[in-house]
Amino acid sequence: MLQPTISPDRKKNQIISFLRLRTMIGLLGFLLPFLLLISDSIAEKVLRVEFSISDYYDNGISGDLLVGVLFVLGFFLLSYRGYEPIDSKVSNLACFFALGVALFPTTSQNDLIHNLHFVFAFFLFSSFIFFSIFLFRKKDKLSKEPPSPQKIIKNKVYMTCGIIMIICIIVIALASFDVFGEAADKLKLVFWFESIALISFGFSWITKGGELVWKEDKKPDEKINVEAQQ
């Protein structure tokens, strides 16, 4: 029985959609802090920064937006496949953690739900860090050529984003355990460092999606053929 063939144009469209999925995942993380601030300011008619991003759960439209973005991000991650099985496994876990963050609010009076929120949030950011530092920086095993100048630059971006996220998690943990005292609440350290971590995560995924233009980048049709090395 003859197997249906896929035209080169159709394959190209599938790959472009795959790259665009990475960009959309990154944009969701990148824009989330700004969307929460803007939506809450419109609803309350005053600029208000909560102690953490999760504290927007009970803020009406901002809470709905937060949960909605987490669900969309989760299902985008579930749709992500990557080039090797480990990419899919980590993205599936990240989807599970994102849904856990959405379904177990930190504002709950139930201690178990409250604590589970932090567990899911920690592992969600850990999966983002794993993508940036390890998975995005992998070299195509089938290629015998050295990494391109663009790949080297992008690897530095991924590593930088991963390190920033690690630093943010450390600061967030210290602030949560009241190491900084009243300064944590006064300066909203948790919110701002969560925002920096999300922006770093987003920038890493947008870079991997190929939407940013780099010096001597290949043309779009050429870049598709070497995406596994990017």
What band does 2 get if pLDDT is binned at 50, 70 and 90? Answer: very low
pLDDT tens digit sequence for 190-218:
999 999 999 999 999 999 987 665 544 54
DSSP string covering the chain, please? -PPPP--HHHHHHHHHHHHHHHHHHHHHHHHHHHHHHHHHHHHHTS----SSGGGGGGSTHHHHHHHHHHHHHHHHHHH---SSHHHHHHHHHHHHHHHHHHHS-TT-S-HHHHHHHHHHHHHHHHHHHHIIIIITTPPPTT--SPPPHHHHHHHHHHHHHHHHHHHHHHHHHHHHTTTTTHHHHHTTHHHHHHHHHHHHHHHHHHHHTT-S--TTPPPHHHHHHTGGG-
pLDDT tens digit sequence for 98-123:
999 999 999 889 999 999 999 999 99
Q: What is the mean pLDDT of residues 125-144?
A: 88
Domain boundaries, the chain: 19-137+144-210
Q: Please state the pTM of the whole predicted model.
A: 0.84
